[in-house]
Amino acid sequence: LRARGHERAEGERFAGILDLGVPVGGAGASIKAALIIATLRQGDGPDLDAMLPTLQETARSIAAEAGLRESPS
């Protein structure tokens, strides 16, 4: 997830679900977390590429509000 900056996956519990996740906090943050949304596959499916920038911005906002900072090296 952190290497690519996001992850897409077929839902593991239910058929027809697509998951899109992004990390919350930088790679060196002391707390490791992810923000994940689940979408229903309908017709051509949801446009995950269009959702990704908003999800990434939301994850950055959460990290900033939570005070997640890079841990010292």
Pairing of strands 17-24, 33-40: antiparallel
pLDDT of residue 31: 67
CA angle 37, 41, 44 (to 5 degrees): 125
For residue range 18-67, list pLDDT tens digits in order.
Answer: 999 999 987 777 667 899 999 998 777 778 899 999 999 999 999 989 88
Q: How many CB atoms lie within 10 A of CB 4?
A: 9
Read off the pTM.
0.78
Which helix (H) or strand (E) covers residue 66, if one does?
helix 48-66
For residue range 6-19, list pLDDT tens digits in order.
Answer: 999 988 888 889 99
